[in-house]
Amino acid sequence: MQQQAATAADEVDFVSGRTRLYGIVGDPIVQVRSPEMFSATFRRRGIEAIMVPLHVAPDAFEPTLRGLMALRNLDGLVFTIPYKVRAVPFASTLGAQAATVGAINALARDGTQWKGEIFDGLGCVEAFRRRGIALRGARLMVIGAGGAGSAVAVAIAHEQPAFVRVHDVDGARAEALAAKVARVSSDTQVEVAPPRIDDIDILLNVSPAGMLDDARLPLDVATLPPQLVVFDAIVKPERTPLIQLAESCGCTTVFGREMMRGQIDRMVDYFTGVDG
Amino acid sequence: MQQQAATAADEVDFVSGRTRLYGIVGDPIVQVRSPEMFSATFRRRGIEAIMVPLHVAPDAFEPTLRGLMALRNLDGLVFTIPYKVRAVPFASTLGAQAATVGAINALARDGTQWKGEIFDGLGCVEAFRRRGIALRGARLMVIGAGGAGSAVAVAIAHEQPAFVRVHDVDGARAEALAAKVARVSSDTQVEVAPPRIDDIDILLNVSPAGMLDDARLPLDVATLPPQLVVFDAIVKPERTPLIQLAESCGCTTVFGREMMRGQIDRMVDYFTGVDG
């Protein structure tokens, strides 16, 4: 008797028992774009792996993380809001950016241990480089001093901007970030102050204001000067209220998705050990 | 400035932040076929979900399970060797088959709780029904009395075979299964004895002998009578040493993959609450 051949409808080709797992950990999770973007990068590179969304509740973060890291076929995790700082203790070793920022967005299996690094800032710098927008000597307003905000500001500080104003709803967090920026780039003038853009070249929103159905702007303005460059780290929606306002005012806009693209290749290198 | 449009290579279409997760838990895991088969069924039914392999080590089973069940976007787990019995305590309620067998292969989110059931046996019975091979009145040899073996023997007992011989390397486990079969079908003659097929119509291997690179037969024979029907629950390889011997002897063969097909639709109903 013949074995019945499997038909195309019986099986998919994108996951099997051999697939290595990666996950993005966040709360909420539906807005993340890492699953489709990392999984595409794995496929393009011929890596038999997939990235899935992992919705972890704040009251279950630590035990859930331990459970995930015990999975023998899970090789790495990406962290998004609100876990970039809380994930740090799970790394046995920290990369240079993470050590300064005090947050990670990538945790990779490294032999019997796990290494952590943050790539948000490097991705943002890369997005500006690809656009040909100079950060060196520029005057910047950074809104948001959490994990992503810190990563962006620290990476930008390495580019030696002339001036960085930092704001966060948590004043102590803003002060801590300003100190880090000053440490990285001693020639940069740094201040902590509420959002103001009249003296600014580049506005960077790295706060959650405007994410998903949040209709808020990260700052209280009705218009923006057309020469302002506006970056929003949010990837969903792509056209945040801030980006929409910037477009209507004729500003140059840089998208969170560009930052993501800039960092995904670096992160896949990190996950797969290409960078050691 | 225009937003750069995402190209096809940038993203895949089979996973996103909205994807609901299912996992198959086992050790080893590379041989499982559930990821591609369940994921195909989800797609065919328009369910935005994926099944991924979850390689859980025996010394980490309980905490890892708790971590997985805490994921808010994980809706169900499938269990394979060696966890079908060990997973039972994680179910708040047990289905009828699971209650008799004392093992589960499906754990589904059910409101704030989790329900467990075993579908292996129902899938095997369905595979024989589709082939038109009668179980009622047949004389059977069942090798393997673990979770899958018990599920198969209990489901078959409901079909009222004339005779069931049970063997397992663990004699106590074989005795326990024989008692269950006798309880389900009082007219069936049941015995626990080493493998013998001279008085048998259907040989069922539900032990791991022959899985992956295991070259063993589940019983010590050089040939099989051509009128014997040979079922092997193993799905990888599809042509186990037993199936190869059966084919060379002209026996009718029934494959583990047919059992899987028979149960996957029922399990997806169970996971998605179609059956309540």
What DSSP element (H or E) covers B65? helix B61-69
Query: What φ, ψ does residue B205 adopt, rounded to 5°?
Result: -95, 115
Residue B275 pLDDT level (bands cut at 50, 70, 90): low
Q: Where are the alpha helices (DSSP H) in chain A?
A: 34-44, 61-69, 96-101, 120-131, 147-157, 171-184, 241-248, 256-272
| Same domain, yes or no: A134 and A208 | yes
Tokens of B181: 């079969």
- Is residue A276 predicted with pLDDT exceeding 60? no
Tell me if B181 is assigned to some domain. yes
What does the alpha-carbon distance between residue B175 and residue B181 come to, in Å, rounded to a whole number? 10
Per-residue pLDDT averaged across A150-155, rounded? 94
Compute the C-alpha angle A207/A79/B33, nearest 5°: 140
| Same domain, yes or no: B216 and B136 | yes
**Among A1, A13, A55, whose Cβ lies nearest the Cβ of B252?**
A1
pLDDT for A256: 93
What does the alpha-carbon distance between residue A271 and residue A267 come to, in Å, rounded to a whole number? 6
Q: Which domain holds residue B156?
A: 121-259
| Same domain, yes or no: A134 and A248 | yes
Chain CA centroid to CA A159, Å: 18
| Same domain, yes or no: A103 and A130 | no
| Same domain, yes or no: B109 and B180 | no
Q: Output the domain CATH number for residue A45.
A: 3.40.50.10860
Cα dihedral value A210, A215, A218, A221, nearest 10:
140
Angle of the A147-157 helix axis to the A171-184 helix axis, nearest 10: 20
pLDDT for A96: 85
In A53-112, the residues whose Cβ lies within 8 Å of chain B are 53-57, 60, 63-68, 70-73
| Same domain, yes or no: B82 and B127 | no
Which residue in A155, A105, A101 sits closest to A128, CA to CA? A155
pLDDT digits (tens, 9 = 90+) for B115-153: 999 998 989 998 999 999 999 999 999 999 988 899 999
- Is residue B276 predicted with pLDDT exceeding 50? no
Tell me if A9 is assigned to some domain. no
Tokens of B50: 């994926």
Tell me if A209 is assigned to some domain. yes
| Same domain, yes or no: B129 and B251 | yes
Tokens 């997806």 sit on residue: B268
Q: Output the domain CATH number for residue B156.
A: 3.40.50.720
Residue B9 pLDDT level (bands cut at 50, 70, 90): low
Convert B3-24 to b/e letters by CB count within 10 Å (16 or more is b): eeeeeeebbbebbbbebbbbbb
The total number of structural domains that make up chain A = 2
pLDDT digits (tens, 9 = 90+) for A85-99: 999 999 999 998 899
pLDDT for A3: 41
Say whether the peptide bond before residue B28 is cis (omega within 30 degrees of 0). Answer: yes
pLDDT for A6: 46
- Is residue A7 predicted with pLDDT exceeding 80? no
Put simply, the answer to whether B32 touches A40 (Cβ < 8 Å) is no
| Same domain, yes or no: A247 and A153 | yes
What does the alpha-carbon distance between residue B90 and residue B189 come to, in Å, rounded to a whole number? 34
- Is residue A160 predicted with pLDDT exceeding 70? yes
In B178-197, the residues whose Cβ lies within 8 Å of chain A are none
pLDDT digits (tens, 9 = 90+) for B10-59: 899 999 999 999 999 999 999 999 999 999 999 999 999 999 999 999 99
Could you tell me which residue, B126 or A109, shows the higher pLDDT? Answer: A109
Asked if B150 contacts B101 with a C-beta cutoff of 8 angstroms, the reply is yes
Which residue in A224, A182, A173, A175 sits closest to A203, CA to CA? A224
Per-residue pLDDT averaged across A58-72, rounded? 97
What does the alpha-carbon distance between residue B124 and residue B149 come to, in Å, rounded to a whole number? 10
| Same domain, yes or no: B73 and B168 | no
**Among B31, B52, B63, whose Cβ lies nearest the Cβ of A52?**
B52
Tell me if A1 is assigned to some domain. no
Tell me if B59 is assigned to some domain. yes
Distances (CA, A) of A163 to A140, A183, A197, B210, B237: 6, 14, 12, 69, 64
**Among B32, B60, B70, whose Cβ lies nearest the Cβ of A57?**
B70
Please report residues of A whose CB lies closer than 8 A to that of B4: 255, 257-258
| Same domain, yes or no: B21 and B104 | yes
| Same domain, yes or no: B53 and B179 | no
Tell me if A76 is assigned to some domain. yes
Tell me if B80 is assigned to some domain. yes
Put simply, the answer to whether B71 touches A50 (Cβ < 8 Å) is no
pLDDT for B265: 84
Angle of the A256-272 helix axis to the A34-44 helix axis, nearest 10: 50
Tell me if A4 is assigned to some domain. no
pLDDT digits (tens, 9 = 90+) for B201-233: 999 999 999 998 899 999 999 999 999 999 999
Which of the listed ranges A270-274, B176-180, B235-239 does the model predict with the highest average pLDDT?
Answer: B176-180
